[in-house]
Amino acid sequence: MEVRQLRYFVAVAEELHFGRAAERLHVAQPAVSQQVGRLERELGVRLLARTSRRVALTGDGRRLLDEARAALSAVDRVRAVAADLVAGRAAVLRVGTTPGVGPRLSRAAAKLRAEAPDLTLTLVDGTLAAHVAALRAGELDIALVRGTVAARDLQAIQVWRDPLQVMLPAAHPAAAAPTLPVTALADLTLRMPDRDSDPALHDALRAACRGAGIAPSTGRSVRSLEDAAVEIGMSSHDATVVCGCGGEPIPGVSVRPLAPPVEVPGMLLTPSSTTQTCLDGLVAALA
């Protein structure tokens, strides 16, 4: 499916006339008919009812029209933010990152670079407090963090939610089920990163344990998730809790979501001076 096909379909749906749609798009009428036909074949649904006298939306066409408009709006926002980025600081976007946001950031970067090929990302590790300070000092353009942020001089928008998942030895009995009850954490030794590095994860986990009436034992802190995964795979009862878990499977380790689900909000932080157009484009790219 191409963006062009969606634009042509929306134009015909709004004009209910291929000729007027072609004039509006500044293309030849056969091109409009051809691209809408391709879209229908790719989707496997009939979007328009055509006769020699009139064009009308089908039921499927009416349902798709709103989604097509939303998709085109998102594309336009991504293009707008890319244009803003190109116009300033040699198309460099300085991003404060949080563990686990790599896959989402990679997808967002691909969307932005499709519109601004010269865009360069500079990624900066750090705690929530460090990112807030860097945004205030003008050392970062945006930051991706977890948990609510109380900073009146910054803009904070929730863009996603991360489920908490438990990484535990594959041989542990609790790993046999597709989910891990929160109460099962009482039988594991939790190895967690320092709270300063991910306070939202700690707070969400603590609240879930408190609600389940348990107080898991804790082990050595985690500094590198990759190293901790290797150690957990070789242990009998060590575990850690992560916000999502991407990458290749690690031998000897299983990752299971908590039950009931526990989620942490993912936030986009920007300076208060960030324009609404730029903000919308970043949200569209990250969502």
pLDDT in tens, 212-227: 999 999 998 887 878 8
Are 124 and 180 members of one domain?
no
Does 117 map to a domain?
A: yes
Domain identity same for 36 and 152: no
**Residues 9, 15, 20, 26: is their CA dihedral positive or negative?**
negative
Domain boundary among 51, 76, 101: 76
Same domain, 184 and 48: no
Which structural domain range is residue 119 located in?
A: 86-159+266-286
Enumerate the β-bridge partners of residue 121. Answer: 93
Same domain, 175 and 247: yes
Coil, strand or helix at 275: coil
Going by C-alpha positions, the residue among 166, 144, 165 that lies closest to residue 270 is 144
Do 66 and 128 belong to one domain? Answer: no
> 62-110: per-residue pLDDT in tens?
888 888 888 887 777 777 766 666 665 447 788 999 877 888 888 888 8
Same-domain check for residues 239 and 277: no
Q: Domain total for the chain?
A: 3
Residues 181 and 259 grouped into a single domain = yes
Q: At what angle do helices 276-286 and 102-115 cross, to 10 degrees?
A: 120
d(CA 203, CA 207): 6
Segment 130-186, tens digit of pLDDT: 898 988 888 888 999 988 887 788 899 999 998 999 999 999 999 999 999 999 999
Domain check: are 132 and 256 in the same one? no
Asked if residue 16 belongs to a domain, the reply is yes
Confidence (pTM): 0.64
User: 45, 76, 107: which is the final residue of a domain?
Assistant: 76
